[in-house]
Amino acid sequence: MKIIKKEVRAIGFDDGGVNSKSIIGVIFRGNICLEGLIKIEAAYNINVTEEIIKVLKSSPHFKQLRIIMLNKDVLIGEKIDLQKIYEETKLPVIVFYRGKILKKGFSTIKINKRKIYFKTVGLNQNLIKEVLKNFSLKKGFPEPLRVAFLIAKAFKRFKHSTS
């Protein structure tokens, strides 16, 4: 079994919820250090999976990243191809859900009395608890995803108030 170091770098992607036009990616080292931010703007006929791959590979942080996290497997209304991201980047991809999920292929884990649903490509499921421990604070949800969600939500709110 491979061990996940405490301060590896991961990126978490979130779109901030319904009717989003942007995806925010937040790069964290462990659970304490935000090291970078990536924004993907939705355009007509954009392939979100391809765009995530392109943005990741062109990022100055790419060579240091070890894990890709998504807050759900549908961003800005498009289903994300987790397998393709894994194959193109050679980085494990994990989708986490906080609430109950009825989709097939998701597993559950309990962290701090909280049930978290996840799906992974390229990472042994036995390492999920270690990933959550290394990237989470008290609530048991990964900081890269929590912060990406907050930034994406704030960005969406700001964008709507200025238009």
In a domain, 4, yes or no: no
In a domain, 33, yes or no: yes
In a domain, 163, yes or no: no
Does the pLDDT value for residue 109 go beyond 90?
A: no
Question: Alpha carbon of 137 to those of 71, 74, 125, 152: distances in Å?
Answer: 16, 25, 20, 20
Q: What is the Cα–Cα distance from 133 to 140, expressed in whole angstroms? A: 7
In a domain, 2, yes or no: no
The model's pLDDT over 37-82, given as tens digits with 9 standing for 90+, comes to 999 987 777 899 999 999 999 999 999 999 999 998 888 888 899 9
Note the Cα 153 to chain centre separation in Å: 15
In a domain, 23, yes or no: yes
Note the Cα 43 to chain centre separation in Å: 20
State pTM to two decimals: 0.90
User: What domain range is 140 assigned to?
Assistant: 9-158
In a domain, 1, yes or no: no
Could you tell me what percentage of the chain is helix, strand and coil, using 3-state DSSP and rounding each to the nearest 5?
35, 35, 35
CATH of the domain at 128: 3.30.2170.10
Indicate the average pLDDT of the chain: 86
Higher pLDDT, 23 or 44: 23
Q: What domain count does the chain have?
A: 1
| Count of Cβ atoms closer than 10 Å to residue 48 Cβ | 20
pLDDT at 163: 55
Q: What is the Cα–Cα distance from 80 to 151, expressed in whole angstroms? A: 20
